[in-house]
Chains A and B, each alone.
Chain A
Amino acid sequence: MNFISVNQVSYAYSGTPVLSHVSLSVTKGDILSVLGPNGSGKTTLLKLILGFFQPDSGTVHVDGQDVGTFPTRMLARKIAYVPQVHRMAFSFRMMDVVMMGRIPHKPFIFRYSKKDKALAETAMERMGIAHLKDRSYTEVSGGERQLCLIARALAQGADTFVMDEPVSGLDYGNQVRLLTTIRSLASEGYTFIKTTHFPDHALWMSGQVLMLKKGRVVITGPSDDVITQASLSDLYHLDMDVAHTLCGTRVCVPDAMRTGRVPLQ
């Protein structure tokens, strides 16, 4: 069963085509990494899945139902958006941020109940940040903020998490920790759709990959089949090497680092 399916979607922003005839499908527990150069339409694709935009043609289905027909609140129970670590204007407590995840489960006028509080605390415990619940979001580290936003998505009760370049702004250690967290959540049955600028990260996830170039799908499939010297070289217009390490994992290395030459755009 395809939990999320995008069929032949095209979208133009002020007359400029951003996506044309994009299709993809994701099943429960998948990790889909969307790769592509800047301006290839990755973020727009995520926003169409989240229902922020309506496609000009084609359809986006979640659980077999068209995204456009979902009330905002119902969609939020199925798909959670985990934004990039951001600066916030106001220094909310971590707990207050996670509690916001309960909004789609409440009536229009509401107060958070004990149950909401308990669910938020459980979500923070799962992310290992329960000890930070009374700290302010603006004073914890970037990695802790990202965990806080994932905890909010867990509290939201959604089973699909949409992430736009989740590792941006994180140091190397936190990037690896975040990717490990994503993998372990996926093994519990959560579905992830994320964009990334790092083909290596897509390989580490060993999930599905979709390559976008100028709004079109270049290739899609399991990461080990799709991420090759040829596809990466074409996608980024660079000479790339995909090498095997001694322990068998694959790594992507740009040739330019060795040769000092970059192909002309």
Chain B
Amino acid sequence: MKHLWVVILISVLLMACALCSFFLGRYPAGLSDGIGLVSWMVQSKNPSMDPDMRLLENIFFNIRMPRILGAILVGSALSVSGAAFQSMFINPLVSPGLLGVLAGASFGAAMAMVFFKSFFAVQVSAFVFGCMAVFLSMGLARLFKGDRLLMLILGGIVSGSFFTALLSMVKYLADPYDQLPAIVFWLMGGLSSVTNQTLGYVCVPILTSMGILMALTPYMNALSMGEEEARSLGVHVGLIRFILIACATLMSALTIIMAGIIGWVGLVVPHMARMIVGPDNRVLIPSAALIGGLYLLAMDDLSRLVFTVEIPLGILTALCGIPFFVLVLRHARKGWG
């Protein structure tokens, strides 16, 4: 039951961090303003009656809240899909982009930026092409006989490279003064464009997928013993693997429409979680969700506070993830404890 305490501790930390994040930001709206706004609302007065309160309401509930919730959701979705992929592919060096979802979504978003110009179109197109890239790699894997996992990985490499090439083509065709910078900036990832509305329509599918993955954690343990062994244990390997890939892909694709490409979280956070609670997916997956949320929230706070200009989140997660990953590699010989 040691792990239960760890999970509770991380949840408390996450909540504390989320609460603090409400009062951090470029605009000076701190704790006292927050208390003022809450007491105003507790007296059931409409904040829009007072211009100061209206401003505060806007800052707290329309700017900071979606950003905080978005960071937690994106961080945990990426971490859970990364952890699921790692146990399914029996490889701790795998990240959620393995089957090409990131490459596909990047291409989809870039293309929509050039041809449609509406942010909603960018989101839809990123999602559709992200899923399409994964379908392509699964289809390629089906074409060939042999080790299923290896074929899936090769399919992912092919489909990823294909969509990366298409992305380069779109970049080449894009208007270099207006569209190209927008594409490049979007690919760096960030949570500044998350709105309550976007959160509203992504949170249900993300949380549902996460719930499904958590229900299947005993099978993930069996799958990481290898396909034949899992099968001899009575696991319907093909079906479980399909559900895992579908849920992980859905989650990653939805994080992309919220926040663009945020690298390294899906690779590094499962390792952090594994170092803390061990490799049993029944504990690992929920812990990775909590740690991922906490990690990305903290990173996002750093990205908007440390310098006068906001650093794109994807750059920050890479810069912080890489040294940590090097540390993890030092422990690699001990069997990915």
A positions within 8 Å CB-CB of B:
14, 47, 50, 52, 72-77, 79-81, 83, 86, 88-93, 96-97, 100-101, 103-104, 106, 109-112, 136, 138-139, 156, 162
Contacts and interface: CB of A to CB of B under 8 A. Distances in A.
Contacts of B222: 100, 103
A122 B102 CA distance: 47
A81 B229 contact: yes
A156 B235 CA distance: 12
Contacts of B321: none
Interface stretch (B119-127, B187-195, B329-337): B329-337
Given A100-B221, A109-B216, A136-B337, 9 more contacts: A76-B233, A86-B226, A88-B224, A89-B91, A90-B92, A91-B334, A103-B219, A104-B234, A111-B218
B87 interface: yes
Contacts of A88: 224-225, 335
Contact of A100 (B87, B233, B278, B336): B233
B335 A91 contact: yes
B166 to A, nearest CB: 33
15 contacts: A47-B228, A52-B231, A76-B232, A83-B226, A83-B228, A83-B229, A90-B224, A91-B278, A93-B278, A97-B225, A100-B233, A104-B233, A106-B218, A109-B216, A110-B218
Interface string B229-246: 101111110000000000
A136 B337 CA distance: 9
Residue among B92, B229, B232, B279 with the highest chain A CB neighbour number at 10 A: B232
Interface in B17-37: none
B224 A112 contact: no
B69 interface: no
Contacts, number: 87
A72 B337 contact: no
A93 B280 contact: yes
Nearest to B238: A72
B132 interface: no
- Which 5 pairs show the lowest CB-CB distances between chains A and B? A104-B234, A76-B234, A81-B232, A138-B335, A90-B279
Contacts of B229: 81, 83
Contact of B233 (A91, A96, A103, A136): A103
Contact of A72 (B215, B231, B336): B231
Interface in B70-104: 87, 90-92
A111 B274 CA distance: 21
B61 to A, nearest CB: 37
Given A50-B232, A75-B234, A110-B218, A100 B225 contact: yes
Contacts of A93: 278, 280
Interface of B: 87, 90-92, 145, 215-216, 218-219, 221-222, 224-226, 228-229, 231-236, 274, 278-280, 334-337
B58 to A, nearest CB: 43
Contacts of B336: 89-91
Given A52-B228, A110-B218, A136-B335, A89 B92 contact: yes
Contacts of B231: 50, 52, 72
B279 A92 contact: yes
Contacts of A77: 234
Nearest to B216: A109
Residue among A47, A77, A81, A96 with the highest chain B CB neighbour number at 10 A: A96
B241 to A, nearest CB: 13
Given A81-B228, A88-B225, A96-B221, A139 B335 contact: yes
B279 to A, nearest CB: 4
Contacts of A14: 145
A81 B91 CA distance: 23
Contacts of B280: 92-93, 96
A168 B232 CA distance: 20
A52 B227 CA distance: 10
Nearest to B335: A138
A91 B279 contact: yes
A38 B228 CA distance: 21
Contacts of A100: 218, 221-222, 225, 233
Contacts of B92: 89-90
Contacts of A91: 278-279, 334-337
Residue among B91, B224, B225, B236 with the highest chain A CB neighbour number at 10 A: B225
Contacts of B279: 90-92
Nearest to A74: B234
A110 B214 CA distance: 11
Contact of A89 (B90, B219, B233, B334): B90
A144 B222 CA distance: 19
Contacts of A110: 218
Residue among A74, A81, A91, A97 with the highest chain B CB neighbour number at 10 A: A91
A23 to B, nearest CB: 23
A52 B278 CA distance: 31
A86 B226 CA distance: 10
A40 B215 CA distance: 42
Contact of B234 (A72, A92, A97, A112): A72
Contacts of A96: 221, 280
Residue among B216, B233, B234 with the highest chain A CB neighbour number at 10 A: B234
